[in-house]
Amino acid sequence: MRALANILGSLVLTGALCSALPAAETGAGAPADADRGPLSALPYTPSLDPSAMDRTVKPCQDFYQYSCGGWRTRNPIPPDQSSWSVYGKLYEDNQRFLWGILSTLAPGSAGRTANQQKIGDYFATCMDQQAIAHLGATPLMPMLARIDALHTKSELPALLADLQLNAAGSGFLFGFGSNQDYSDSNQVIAFASAGGLGLPDRDYYTDRDAHARTLRAQYLDHMARSLALLGESPRSATRDALTVMRIETQLARASLTLVEQRDPHNLFHKLDRGQLRQLTPAFGWDEYLREMGLAKIAVINVTDPRFYRQLARVLDAISLADLKTYLRWHLLNNSAPYLSPAFEQENFAFFGRTLRGAQVQSPRWKRCVRQVDSLLGEALGQEFVARTFGPELKTATLKMTLQIEAAMHKDIEELNWMSSATKQQALAKLAVIANKIGYPDHWRDYSELEIKPDDFFGNLTRATAFESRRALAKIGRPLDRTEWAMTPPTVDAYFDPQMNDINFPAGVLQPPLYDARLDDAPNYGNTGGTIGHELTHAFDDEGRQYDAAGNLRNWWSDEDAKKFKERTECIVDQYAQYVVVDDIHINSRLTLGEDVADLGGLILAHMAWQVQTAGQTLTERDGLTPEQRFFVGYAQWACENVRDEDLRLHAKTDPHSPGRYRVNGLVVNMPEFQQAFSCKVGEPMVKEKRCRVW
Ligand SMILES: [Zn+2]
């Protein structure tokens, strides 16, 4: 992913129904925000903005500050955000534009299509704060009653399936869904993953530093206050919070770290039903799978068997009352952002303010737009694409993609450290990478999903269940290679190693990222760098383990693999030196894939730009040479300001390095950069021993 973290940095992850949904708020946001209102067109900002630079700083001293200093001064973090960035700002512009679209599709509007009715009515019910406030916790009552009616642990599987289908998320003991088989990418099989936690990662439960201890105490207080809102006495709420913490800690201890999860072999353990029963004797998989509509499936990939052995022990030892407490908490935690103000505010106070440093909640309209994008994203996306992504834009960005793929072909052929046998395999993989630009060829069919004009929580539950069922229905069916994992308005991009495709939603191909009004230099630096980044993911430490067919299969000679690792160790050592915040350094084994992709991506973009402009006479603009504009264009995608709380969270969980190092850590490795700015040996942006993988 290019920049998912930048976007998520502005959201509040609650482990809730959809992980990308923010926590909730009650107010209408700052007056300035409300004054700005919805947009009827996307605003324009150039992809290279000279006023965003800080020319008092020398480019060879600190290239990030040189390129982004002006932007950073002029763009303080808005109070509802935990970080603010070029990506984040474009994302908000997109949201405001989607708000404009949704406002014209309100209930009762004439001539709406079936999809327009769904997104218009969902948005309207979400915006009806009065009705939501009036209901309090009532929408949860039927599910709370079911939890309360649990008589024996043997009834857990059916109940759990129901909770996971209708409230989604991985907070109910474990995660369950579908994915391509690692050994046969044409097959979609069931995946059972680790889960069951309320905090963002297992390390939050196991770290022993003062900051982690304080956060755990704050999480306990938050759980107790939330449970008290459901009517529990303060004493019993405090006791229940401790119970939940004990169970979550046991599950966390047996979960893989994020670095361990970067190796797909650690996540691949196909088990048959008998092996599954053996792994967790205390859990009735037959009942569970029947309830999930999967009674007949024979094989499940258990990503994390050690976690499931622990889960079995926990389920064996736990009392029925404690099990109910745990489920009650996770139902509440999942649902709090969608309930009345008291619940939303408490949820925001912990997940937004304490964990990420946001000062106020996002305005309601923003949270409602995100929900529509998350739950009905391809219905909303059609509207976005029709207004923002014409055929010229698709043609131009596809051309750039093909040029960058040609650059990679040349790059692989010329590598001096790889044998020709491995090169042939790499080229074979490159040749069949599918390019997905803008939006899917086939739009998702929402006709089976009912959205009512007066039932917010019902709409949320039905849309969540629709998506759960849609994902499970893929098991055992032919793989749909046209499917996308991001919605069209998304300001991000991704490579999928099993699909072996690179994906660039329409939202990430807009100014100030791709800028049709500007010349090639900043566009190849910026969007070209993004395309090269995603392409390089196919050959980073994780992606290189998949072959052309998207299967986990080693196509490397031992000697070439060894040389690859030596080269990536250079990157690991380099980024480990960088400080994120306080005395916390980058966890460079976690960020390795992204750091490799950043470097390879810009090298490829630079090669493609040379081809594109060969024979042209390029001139200086804004006091910058074309070469300099290529690099400033690159750097300016990464301009950002981030709160300390959010930096700490990212240091633990984000596979991307902070923006400063995605620029400075990269250019020190490129002689083309040093030439462009005449940097001299001994200056900070010149590395004595450069790293290079691709
Ligand atoms: Zn990436």
pLDDT digits (tens, 9 = 90+) for 211-243: 999 999 999 999 999 999 999 999 999 999 999
Helix, strand or coil, per DSSP, at residue 624: strand
Per-residue pLDDT, averaged over 451-456, amounts to 97
Q: What is the model's pLDDT at position 8? A: 36
Residue 29 has pLDDT above 60, yes or no: no
What pLDDT digit, counting tens, does each position of 594-631 carry? Answer: 999 999 999 999 999 999 999 999 999 999 999 999 99
**Do residues 129 and 461 lie in contact, with contact meaning Cβ atoms separated by under 8 Å?**
no
Choose between 358 and 9: higher pLDDT. 358
Distance from residue 5's CA to the centre of ligand 1 (Å): 10
Distance from residue 528's CA to the centre of ligand 1 (Å): 14
* pTM score: 0.93
pLDDT range class, residue 282, cuts 50, 70, 90: confident
- CA-CA distance, 384 to 506, in Å (whole number)? 8
Per-residue pLDDT, averaged over 379-404, amounts to 97
For the ranges 35-44, 56-65, 460-469, 549-558, the lowest mean pLDDT is seen at 35-44
DSSP 470: H
Return mean pLDDT, the chain.
94
pLDDT range class, residue 26, cuts 50, 70, 90: very low
Residue 14 has pLDDT above 70, yes or no: no
Distance from residue 116's CA to the centre of ligand 1 (Å): 33
Residue 1 has pLDDT above 80, yes or no: no
Per-residue pLDDT, averaged over 472-499, amounts to 96
- H or E stretch covering 64: helix 63-74
pLDDT range class, residue 60, cuts 50, 70, 90: very high
What pLDDT digit, counting tens, does each position of 237-263 carry? Answer: 999 999 999 999 999 999 999 999 999
Distance from residue 503's CA to the centre of ligand 1 (Å): 11
Which amino acid, one-letter code, is at 78?
P
Distance from residue 90's CA to the centre of ligand 1 (Å): 18
What pLDDT digit, counting tens, does each position of 112-160 carry? Answer: 999 999 999 999 999 999 999 999 999 999 999 999 999 999 999 999 9
Which residues, in sequence order, are CB contacts of 174 under 8 Å at separation 6+?
Answer: 192, 193, 194, 195, 196, 307, 308, 311
Residue 313 has pLDDT above 60, yes or no: yes
Per-residue pLDDT, averaged over 73-78, amounts to 97
Distance from residue 656's CA to the centre of ligand 1 (Å): 7
| Three-state SS letters, 265-296 | HHHCCEEEHHHHHHHCCCCCHHHHHHHCCCCC
Which residues participate in catalysis according to the annotation?
Answer: 534, 598
pLDDT range class, residue 170, cuts 50, 70, 90: confident
Q: What is the model's pLDDT at position 33? A: 58
- CA-CA distance, 175 to 133, in Å (whole number)? 31
Helix, strand or coil, per DSSP, at residue 668: coil
- CA-CA distance, 381 to 387, in Å (whole number)? 10
From the list 487, 522, 523, the residue with the least C-alpha distance to 507 is 487
**Do residues 408 and 415 lie in contact, with contact meaning Cβ atoms separated by under 8 Å?**
no
Distance from residue 594's CA to the centre of ligand 1 (Å): 5
Distance from residue 18's CA to the centre of ligand 1 (Å): 21
**Do residues 374 and 381 lie in contact, with contact meaning Cβ atoms separated by under 8 Å?**
no
Per-residue pLDDT, averaged over 624-641, amounts to 98
End-to-end CA distance of the chain: 18
- CA-CA distance, 7 to 26, in Å (whole number)? 22
Q: What is the model's pLDDT at position 36? A: 80
Which residues line ion ligand 1, judged by CB < 5 Å? 1, 594, 597
pLDDT range class, residue 182, cuts 50, 70, 90: very high
Residue 31 has pLDDT above 50, yes or no: no
Q: What is the model's pLDDT at position 16? A: 31
**Do residues 241 and 308 lie in contact, with contact meaning Cβ atoms separated by under 8 Å?**
no
Output the six-digit token pair for 483. 């499917």
Distance from residue 688's CA to the centre of ligand 1 (Å): 26
Output the six-digit token pair for 589. 């084994």
Residue recorded with tokens 């060894």: 562
- CA-CA distance, 635 to 653, in Å (whole number)? 23
Helix, strand or coil, per DSSP, at residue 688: coil
Distance from residue 131's CA to the centre of ligand 1 (Å): 41
